[in-house]
A and B are shown apart, each in its own frame.
Chain A
């Protein structure tokens, strides 16, 4: 008897989801119109959908290089964030001391600092450390920027792993580090998946930091930066801009859809307990 009663609920939810996404949908189908048609009536469906914007942009953008750069930056960034934040978050959560609490604050508070306020000095420091104008360098920089949220979430999740497990993992004379990597970390897979997805979404589509660090040379640019070159304050070629945007965002959307179910299980224990 429950099945027929669910259908209207499902349909309603489906409609709501479509309405929620309407602005995005409108934007995407405008990518299939030539510029003059977009300017004439933005809400209308394309008269005769064309791939013209996409082919022009693909030719213009050197997508393979840009895609590769995005990939390297995101992979290095996310791998590093997960590795160092899982250790730190877990350890802080297990250690009950004033120092531990103070360090937790040290990790959490940077989330309150707007990046714009430190842009110049971040660039200066990055230059000194040899991390600017480099795709690998940018990936490394994301470690520091991604640690706050990741530590916050790992800190919360750690509570759901029984303490007995900590002791058990070093019973055969293994070091704490080995115990962590072999026993504890694998148990945190769902949380790791969560952080991985959130950070991939962020780093893949990030704009400001790459603009400051790697935009000077064609060889180091990211896909997202290339998109922004089509959006101007004074002039935007909307058709190209949208096409470029779709090309740039698509990989991260696909990644998200694929890992969606892992996130749910992960966030379960993650931020829930605080």
Chain B
């Protein structure tokens, strides 16, 4: 399907030689089918042909060019001689490298700047964490001090005496099988005697009724 707008948009590229062979062939095929597009193509080609002729027209007579060349020659001879040296080349190359620039899209530039900022911040914060605080070195001074020795004093005092404690208890600890086997050994004098003890078959419980007022 022929599209005049699309074809005419490509006509300048065709005239300027910016299309590849396949694209050019396709556009030329389109031109066969549309008189309007073909007229447009002829107009562009004619305009460019005329302008090329006009631009390449001779700009001056031989006399003009002789004068031009003489003036250029005089100016060149007046210039100081510039010779190439490896040292100059090195510095020129270094200067060119230092002043060279690269065109990158704005979002990429902003992302790079942000990345550098974040990395710098992280590096600085890590440096602060790892940094050992400087503590002043303690200055050691030796002084000899004569201290009088305090004489040792022995104090004896009875803290507690149980005057009411019975001398013998009637409870035999030896017959008890308790988990407290590691307990302190009980002196023989303190062991209870349960010989003759017979437990009752029945439990008797006596309930005494009363109230609080009786106690008063």
**Same complex origin of A and B:** no
